[in-house]
Amino acid sequence: MIRKTRLFTPGPTPLLPAAQFAMAAADIHHRTPEFRALFTRVLSQLKDFVGTKNDVIILSSSGTGAMEAAVSNLTSPGDRVLVLTAGKFGERWSALTKAFGCHVDVIEKPYGQTFDLAEVKAALKLETRAVFVQATESSTAVRHDVQAIAKLLRDEKSEALLVVDAITGLGTTHLDMDAWGVDVLIGGSQKAVMMPPGLSYIAISQRAWDRMESTYNPRYYFDLRKERKNAAKGESAYTPPVSLIAALGASLDYIAGQAEGNLAEGRKKLVDNAETCAAMTRAAVEAMGLKLFAPKGYEAAAATAILPPEGTDSGILVKGLKTKFAAIVTDGQGEMKGHLFRIAHIGFFDYLDTIAIIGALEQVIASAKLPLPNFEFGKGLIAAQKVFADRVK
């Protein structure tokens, strides 16, 4: 049969056609009124998408560049910081803060878990200058409770800035940066905004801008204050990825279009969409006899992490979906390789995509003869159908 290649990965995610067309048409110079109008409009849309009144800065880099910018701009060598990690991306915060000479306290939970607030409270020192966490840990498909962590910092009257990698959290989970008191929120282009990799964005609170006046870790290309000055004039400090900025504008228009032009409402619809795809997938795989990796109530809507039957390498399912259906799902990362696989719901996924990947998974399970005693064709699909019918009227 024909096999159409389809991504079911939590970044890169499937591309929005309108974003691709916008890229193709974006041959404008970046020091012109045309570009300044585009950049200014996209920066303002981005604030509505993130859901903040704070300035949002666009950087030419994948998401990790914005993570690095947060560390290099907000810390000085020797600063005491607290990293909360329970997966591959949490480990990146540890590595980055160490690379910039911070004195790093780490709360490390096993992959697949989240943090105990009492432990966070105990680890928080008077001198802690910043706390780093993920909104959703993409490697395990677990959601961390950013709101509770933010509240804890405020209740403790902590001076620590809260820096959140929301690269797969934005557009898949409710985040209220300003009301919760989050200082930095980071996003990336190849995730919820349905466009190619290469652009990151970072929303920054006034407290965090103030902090930058006194920090002195080295920075040059990723100098956020310099970018802010330029952004106020509709420009970036260096040559920006013009085509990606045009794509972002088109994607944000599309998201706004889901709610009659209201981007904040469109964002809610996008979150709801991911939640529905995720709920369908969870119900389906459980009906097939597979187990979920995330603890109940903390499943990320960005992706679902699924455990294969005991003794089965998850790579069999990843490979089976690829060879039989050209459907790309991801295996576990790092120490989880072979132990789980992940199906994404972040960005441009719909009902048909979700039903299709569930049907394909049933085919692969059946032909691989996985040891699932109660498995039967259609059980997963029926469960997903019921979830959809309940949620979407």
Ligand X SMILES: *Cc1c(COP(=O)(O)O)cnc(C)c1O
Nearer to ligand X, 10 or 347 (CB): 10
Contacts of 282 (CB under 8 A, 6+ apart): 292, 299, 304
**CB of 237: closest distance to ligand X in angstroms?**
20
DSSP-derived pairing of the beta strands 330-331 and 80-85: unpaired
The only residue of 6, 8, 9, 11 in contact with ligand X, by rule CB under 6 A: 11
**CB of 63: closest distance to ligand X in angstroms?**
3
Site for ligand X in 85-104 (CB under 6 A): 89
Return the range that interacts with ligand X (CB under 6 A); candidates 164-172, 243-251, 257-265, 380-388. Answer: 164-172
Per DSSP, helices labelled H in the chain are 17-24, 33-50, 63-74, 88-99, 117-123, 146-155, 177-180, 206-212, 224-232, 242-257, 263-288, 314-325, 351-367, 379-391
Nearer to ligand X, 335 or 376 (CB): 335
Nearer to ligand X, 169 or 320 (CB): 169
Q: How far apart are CA 388 and CA 201, in angstroms?
A: 33
Q: Are 340 and 306 in contact (CB under 8 A)?
A: yes
CA angle, 195 then 69 then 45, to 5°: 40
Q: Contacts with ligand X: how many residues (CB under 6 A)?
A: 12
Dihedral angle sign, alpha carbons of residues 190, 15, 300, 185: positive
State the binding string over 116-145 for ligand X (x if CB under 6 A, else -): ------------------x---x-------
Q: How far apart are CA 327 and CA 7, in angstroms?
A: 6
Return the range that interacts with ligand X (CB under 6 A); candidates 48-56, 163-171, 209-217, 366-374. Answer: 163-171
Q: Is 342 annotated as a binding residue?
A: yes
Nearer to ligand X, 93 or 180 (CB): 93
Nearer to ligand X, 161 or 381 (CB): 161
Burial class (CB in 10 A: 0-12, 13-18, 19+), 315: middle
**CB of 251: closest distance to ligand X in angstroms?**
16
Nearer to ligand X, 9 or 158 (CB): 9
In the complex, which residue's CB is closest to ligand X? Answer: 63
Tell me the two tokens of residue 66: 């914005």
State the binding string over 40-69 for ligand X (x if CB under 6 A, else -): ----------------------xxx-----
**CB of 392: closest distance to ligand X in angstroms?**
27
**CB of 332: closest distance to ligand X in angstroms?**
14
Tokens 């910043």, residue located: 130
**CB of 10: closest distance to ligand X in angstroms?**
6
**CB of 132: closest distance to ligand X in angstroms?**
11
Q: How far apart are CA 149 and CA 311, in angstroms?
A: 37
Cβ atoms within 10 Å, residue 31: 10
Q: How far is Cα of residue 372 from the mean position of the Cα atoms in its chain?
A: 32
Residue 167 in contact with ligand X, rule: CB under 6 A: yes
**CB of 139: closest distance to ligand X in angstroms?**
8
Q: What is the DSSP string of 347-378?
A: SS--HHHHHHHHHHHHHHHHHTT-S-TT--TT
Residue 165 in contact with ligand X, rule: CB under 6 A: yes
The 3-state DSSP composition of the chain as helix, strand, coil percent (nearest 5) reads: 45, 15, 40
Nearer to ligand X, 11 or 266 (CB): 11
Residue count of the chain: 393
Nearer to ligand X, 62 or 262 (CB): 62
Site for ligand X in 188-247 (CB under 6 A): 188
Per-residue b or e along 35-45, where b marks 16 or more CB atoms closer than 10 Å to that residue's CB: beebbeebbeb
Residue 173 in contact with ligand X, rule: CB under 6 A: no
Burial class (CB in 10 A: 0-12, 13-18, 19+), 25: exposed
Nearer to ligand X, 165 or 275 (CB): 165
Residue ranges for the known binding site for substrate are: 342
Per CB under 6 A, residues contacting ligand X are 10-11, 62-64, 89, 134, 138, 165, 167-168, 188
- Which positions make up the binding site? 342
